Amino acid sequence: MNAVSQQSEMVDRVYRRLADFPVSAAEIVLELRTKWGPTHNVGEVHRFVEEVAACVLRHDDVEVGDTSDGEFRSWRLEPWDAHAKLAEELLAMNTFLDDKERYVFRKRRA
């Protein structure tokens, strides 16, 4: 399966899961590391997650933020600004993201 197909598959899977519960970027990182094994480095995994995040944020009903004490705190940014923030921070990391309270995606509440 090529990278574009893998990305589309992951975007669809994450978006479907959002109907039931929030999904963190760290969970996506873990899924990719499990699927890909140790042959992919931090930069490759985080770049893929950043691209998945960009696609997920294109959905009007999705927001991103952080959780603290079980409470979601939206970044309250436009999707492109949220993506830019996530990309800048995620791609600057030199270790795999494992904090499931940061970069959390969820469906907006009505």
For every residue of the chain, which 3-state class applies, written as one string? CCHHHHHHHHHHHHHHHHCCCCEEHHHHHHHHHHHHHHHCCHHHHHHHHHHHHHHHCCCCCEEEEEEECCEEEECCCCHHHHHHHHHHHHHHCCCCCCCCCCCEEEECCC
The pTM of the full predicted model, rounded to 2 decimals, is: 0.93
Does position 86 have pLDDT exceeding 70, yes or no? Answer: yes
Buried b (16+ CB within 10 A) or exposed e, 11-22: beebbeebeeeb
pLDDT (tens digit, 9 = 90+) per residue, 15-73?
A: 999 999 999 999 999 999 999 999 999 999 999 999 999 999 999 999 999 999 989 99
Does position 3 have pLDDT exceeding 80, yes or no? Answer: no
- Specify the amino acid at residue 48: F
